[in-house]
Amino acid sequence: MQKRKLGTGGLEVSALGLGCMGMSFGYGPPVERQQGIDLIRKAFELGVTFFDTAEVYGPFTNEDLVGEALAPIRDEVIIATKFGFAIENGKQVGVDSRPEHIREVVEASLARLKTDRIDLLYQHRVDPNVPIEDVAGAVKELIQAGKVKHFGLSEAGVGTIRRAHAVCPVAALQSEYSLWWREPEEAILPVLEELGIGFVPFSPLGKGFLTGRMDHSTTFDPTDFRNIVPRFSPENRSANLALVGVVRGIAARKNATPAQIALAWVLAQKPWMVPIPGTTKLERLAENLGSVDVELNETDLREIDEATATIEIRGERYPAASMRWIDR
C-alpha cells in the first residue's frame, strides 16, 4: 500500500483509509462484533494503517470495536476519532465543543480505544456557540499533554479553518467529497493547499451510489439513514444514474469496477488526499483497496470532467436538520 502525508506535521498514513462508522451505525443494523474485528484486521493485513471512528458512531460502540480490533497492532496504525456532539440517553442532541467537554470526551475515547493517545482528533462539527480559537486551544493542550498527536476539523468552512490553524496546526480536514459532491473544490481545497493541510474525503463512493449497485428500485433497511437523504429518493436516484453511467464507461475501459474508478478519481486529485471508504464486507474491502492500482491519466480525468459537467446531480446530500451543522 502506498503512503501519503496529511499536513506538514509528519502524519503519514496509507493512501486509502477505512471508515469504520458503517459497522456500527448509519447503514442498517450493526455487524456482528467478530465480523467487524475480522474486517478491520484484514484491512491492516492488506496495507491499511488509517482507521476512522467517532464517539457518536453508535454512540460509543464503534470506538469500542475499533479499539479491540486494533489493540494487538496499536503501534502500527493511525487512529482518528472525533468530538463535538452532545449525546444524551444514547442519542445525539446537538453540538458541544466546550473545552471541558472536549477533555471529557478524549478521556472516554482513550478508554474505549484501549490506547494512551489519539493520533488524529477531529472536531466533528463546528459549534457556533464556542469560538474555534477556544476549541483549538483545548486540543493544543491535549497535544502538549501527549494525549493527542494531531488536530483535525470536519465540515469546516474557510474562515474556521484559518482561525483554528492560527492557534493549533490543523493536520487534516475531513469533509464529504466525491464525483457527486465537488463543492470543496471551490474554496476549501485551495486553502488547504495554501496552509499545508491534508484532506480526508468521507463518502468518496457517494454513500454507495457510485458503486453502480443501486437504482431507483433499491430499498434500504429501515434503520439506514439514506432513507431520509434527499439525494437517495427514488426519483433523484433515477436522475443521478447518469453519473454512474459515466463511471461505468471508464471502468469498462480500465478493466476496473465503478467503485475503483470513483476512488481512483479522488486519489488522482491531490497527493495529500486520503479517502476513507467504509464497508462491512471483505470482498468490498478488497475491491476498494484495488483502486490504488488503477491509474487515471490526464485524458481519463479530462473525459470524466467533461462528461460530469453536463450532469445535474439531484437532491441535497443531507436532510435539512443535518445541514444546519455544516459550517460554510
E-state strands within 116-225: 118-123, 148-154, 170-176, 198-202
For residue 290, give the C-alpha cell: 484495488
Amino acid identity at 7: G
Q: What percent helix, strand, coil does the chain show, rounded to 5?
A: 45, 20, 35
Pairing of strands 78-83, 50-52: parallel
State how far the alpha carbon of 264 is from the alpha carbons of 16, 90, 183, 237, 294, in Å: 10, 37, 18, 23, 6
* Catalytic machinery residues: 57
Q: How far is CA 244 from CA 207, 248, 278, in A?
A: 13, 6, 19
